[in-house]
Amino acid sequence: MNLPTIIICVILVIVIYIGIRSTKKRATSGCCGSSETVKKIRVKDKNKDHYPYKAVLKVYDIHCQNCVHTIENAFNSQEGFYAKVNTEDNTVTILSKQEHTADELIDIVTKAGYTSKAL
């Protein structure tokens, strides 16, 4: 083998190694690059009848359970909210005890690090 062939082979081995390492990291810790799993915050009042207001937002860039928990936690950590993310259509359904504007809800999602819009 000549020198250019050896260099190409070394580069390919490095690229394959990085790809395998990245895939392994995503499989074990989620795609968001965090090695820690986001713990889900549970709502104290799970009776949906206590939440008369409902809003649905489209949320972009939901990739894994860490994303789901982060978005739900942004609402569920606050009194008067009950949120559930649907990963099939990338929406979050927000139940609340008080009326909130779509902009207020979008602001909560934005502060959690995601982009959203009202449906």
For residue 32, what pLDDT is reported?
62
pLDDT-derived band at 19 (thresholds 50, 70, 90) equals: confident
Would you state the CATH architecture of domain 48-118?
A: 2-Layer Sandwich (3.30)
Residue ranges per structural domain of the chain? 1-29, 48-118
- Give the mean model confidence (pLDDT) for residues 9-35: 74
pTM: 0.72
CA–CA separation, 5 and 81 (whole Å): 61
Instruction: Select the more confidently predicted residue: 65 or 58.
Output: 58
For residue 38, what pLDDT is reported?
84
pLDDT tops 60 at residue 36: yes
3-state helix, strand, coil in the chain (%, to 5): 45, 20, 35
For residue 70, what pLDDT is reported?
94
CA–CA separation, 116 and 91 (whole Å): 9
- Give the mean model confidence (pLDDT) for residues 79-87: 96
pLDDT-derived band at 1 (thresholds 50, 70, 90) equals: confident
